[in-house]
Amino acid sequence: MNKKPVVAIVGRPNVGKSTFVNRLVGSRESIVDDMPGVTRDRLYFDVEWAGVPFTVIDTGGIIPGMEDEIMLSISSQVDIASEQANAIIFLVDGKEGLNPVDEDIANMLRRAKKPVFLTVNKVDTPDKAGIINEFYALGIGDPHPVSAMHGTGDMGDLLDEIVKVLPEYKEEKAQQPIRVAVAGKPNVGKSSLINAFLGEERVIVSEVSGTTRDAIDTRLKVEGTEYILVDTAGIRKKSKVEYGVEMFSVDRAIRAVRNCDVVLMMIDAKQGITDQDKKIGNTVIDAGKAIVLLVNKWDLVESKTSTTINDFTKKIKHDAPHLDFAPILFISAKTGQRVNKIFQYVQEARGYSTKEIATSLLNRVINEATALNPPPSQKGKRLKIYYSTQAGIVPPTFILFVNDKKLFLTAYERYIENKLRDAFGFFGTPIRIIIREKGEKG
């Protein structure tokens, strides 16, 4: 199989792995903060150097021997990343000097039996280059001094050496994968759902709310269709978000929603749909993205209450009428209940969000709608819809040319939208209606 080569970046916390990745990728894609262990999961980024494409894995920081639950999980993440990698960049801190933990990591990397490139970060000026000599003691090859922050040092030479050891790869042109963002409040089960899809602990799951701090991309193929799953940081109320890493994470989650094709919006069955869920729904609608509502932890509700799926569905539609177009699936990420149906819903929602309607058919449906229920008159003047056309997709967008925009009331717009949904489906996608007066442009 022709797979893109993988380069893993490993090292103890706070040596600058995320900054190094940002330098390679050319943007602040990975969260950077002074707090050790900020990058807790594997983050995958596509990079190209000297015409050679490869994928970089930014692993969580590792401290061998620590008993802390998350650090143990991170250690496991590095093991998996090392197994997947064709080459490994072992990043150490030139400002701090050789650390005993670096020696432990070096021993772990020797067992990986992969090409390892020892890279000494934070060597910001030529006079500090001498500090790299002490890293020869690791016995893992010649150290490369770099400054990820400033892009100086042996960065170019290092990448030249790395691409030489990577297997040949020819990019195959294929259908673009469907980007699926998994969104919702903290601790609703987003990471558990992705783990259920993958059958491995691809992302760290913990009972601690807010464990997933970054948007993490994972490729997955289901029945011949490729998807990119994005596990977003839990979106909290602004009043509860502290400035710093978490605010950056929430911003990343919102951007992940805007950059995806379909949003899996998870709701906690034990809590029902909350005000925060409704706001997340508004974010998705504002972005014009297809949406599937997943009521997670349904096994806990189903076994302990008399609430039925029908009851819960009615409650959601009553409490969040702005989401009544979204299909609802009742699941348990923990037990796998109905998880296998999710991608059917994703495919359907994606299909409707890109659906195009022939102009003649669109005008026939709208003409029939106005004949069935003529718009009310105001001060003796009645709304006339002369002509309609579809202006775009994602979301499906329609322009209606009328005699007077002021006569097109919100209630009648809602009526027209419902008639479009009755005629064409549009399940799982918002639709937009733009009103223009005859002769009006733009």
CATH (domain of 417) = 3.30.300.20
Question: Do 204 and 347 belong together in one domain?
Answer: yes
Report whether pLDDT(440) > 70.
no
Question: Do 307 and 407 belong together in one domain?
Answer: no
Split at pLDDT 50, 70, 90, the class of 379 is confident
Split at pLDDT 50, 70, 90, the class of 239 is low
Helix residue spans in 137-177 (DSSP H): 155-165
Q: Which residues of 87-108 are buried (b: 16+ CB within 10 A; e: fewer)?
A: bbbbbbbbeeebeebbeebbeb
DSSP string for 250-300:
HHHHHHHHHT-SEEEEEEETTT-S-HHHHHHHHHHHHHT-EEEEEEE-HHH
Report whether pLDDT(401) > 90.
yes
Q: Which residues of 190-217 are buried (b: 16+ CB within 10 A; e: fewer)?
A: bbbbbbbbeeeebbbbeeeebbbbbbbb
Amino acid letter, 5: P
How far lies 231's CA from each of 141, 287, 317, in Å?
36, 18, 26
| 285 is a domain residue | yes
Last residue of a domain, one of 313, 336, 353: 353
> Which residue did the predictor score with more confidence, 128 or 419?
419
Q: Say whether the peptide bond before residue 53 is cis (omega within 30 degrees of 0).
A: no
Mean pLDDT of the chain: 83
Question: Do 224 and 141 belong together in one domain?
Answer: no
Question: Do 193 and 299 belong together in one domain?
Answer: yes
Whole-model pTM?
0.64
Last residue of a domain, one of 333, 353, 373: 353
Three-class secondary structure of residue 324 per DSSP: coil
Residue 34: predicted pLDDT: 47
| 108 is a domain residue | yes
| 1 is a domain residue | no
> Which residue did the predictor score with more confidence, 224 or 383?
383
- What number is the average pLDDT over the span 347-366? 93
For the domain that residue 226 is a member of, what is the CATH number? Answer: 3.40.50.300
Amino acid letter, 145: P
Residues paired with residue 382 on neighbouring β-strands, in sequence order: 377
Report whether pLDDT(388) > 90.
yes
| 324 is a domain residue | yes
| 379 is a domain residue | yes
| 173 is a domain residue | no
Question: Do 285 and 369 belong together in one domain?
Answer: no
Question: Do 58 and 102 belong together in one domain?
Answer: yes
- What number is the average pLDDT over the span 364-380? 91
Residue 108: predicted pLDDT: 82
Question: Do 379 and 414 belong together in one domain?
Answer: yes
Report whether pLDDT(53) > 80.
yes
Return the DSSP state at 339.
G
CA distance linking residue 311 with residue 328, whole number of Å: 12
pLDDT digits (tens, 9 = 90+) for 146-170: 999 888 888 889 999 999 999 988 7
Residue 248: predicted pLDDT: 45
| 171 is a domain residue | no
Residue 364 is part of which domain span?
359-437
Residue 31: predicted pLDDT: 43
Residue 207: predicted pLDDT: 45
> Which residue did the predictor score with more confidence, 234 or 231?
231
Last residue of a domain, one of 327, 353, 379: 353
Report whether pLDDT(316) > 90.
yes
pLDDT digits (tens, 9 = 90+) for 7-44: 988 888 888 888 898 888 775 554 444 445 444 455 67
- CB atoms inside a 10 Å sphere around CB 298: 24
Burial environment of residue 255 by CB neighbours within 10 A (0 to 12, 13 to 18, 19 or more): middle
Residue 441: predicted pLDDT: 57
Q: Lowest-pLDDT range, 116-130, 205-219, 303-317? A: 205-219
Helix residue spans in 373-441 (DSSP H): 410-424
Question: Do 107 and 214 belong together in one domain?
Answer: no
Question: Do 263 and 403 belong together in one domain?
Answer: no
Residue 224: predicted pLDDT: 82
Percent of the residues in the chain that have a pLDDT greater than 70, as a whole number: 80
Q: What angle do CA 385, 387, 390 make, to 5 degrees?
A: 120
List Cβ neighbours of 322 (8 Å cut-off, separation of 6 or more).
Answer: 278, 281, 282, 285
CA distance linking residue 440 with residue 418, whole number of Å: 26
Q: Are 136 and 43 in contact (CB under 8 A)?
A: no
Residue 337: predicted pLDDT: 93
Residue 373: predicted pLDDT: 94
| 30 is a domain residue | yes
Question: Do 73 and 215 belong together in one domain?
Answer: no
Question: Do 407 and 346 belong together in one domain?
Answer: no
Q: Are 353 and 261 in contact (CB under 8 A)?
A: yes
Return the DSSP state at 429.
-
Residue 77: predicted pLDDT: 61
Residue with tokens 């998807």: 227
List Cβ neighbours of 276 (8 Å cut-off, separation of 6 or more).
Answer: 185, 235, 236, 237
Question: Do 214 and 159 belong together in one domain?
Answer: no
Helix residue spans in 185-274 (DSSP H): 190-198, 245-258
Report whether pLDDT(405) > 60.
yes
pLDDT digits (tens, 9 = 90+) for 320-347: 999 999 999 999 999 999 999 999 999 9
Domain count, the chain: 3
- CB atoms inside a 10 Å sphere around CB 221: 9
pLDDT digits (tens, 9 = 90+) for 172-226: 655 789 999 999 888 899 888 988 888 755 554 444 444 444 446 788 888 888 8
CA distance linking residue 9 with residue 24, whole number of Å: 12
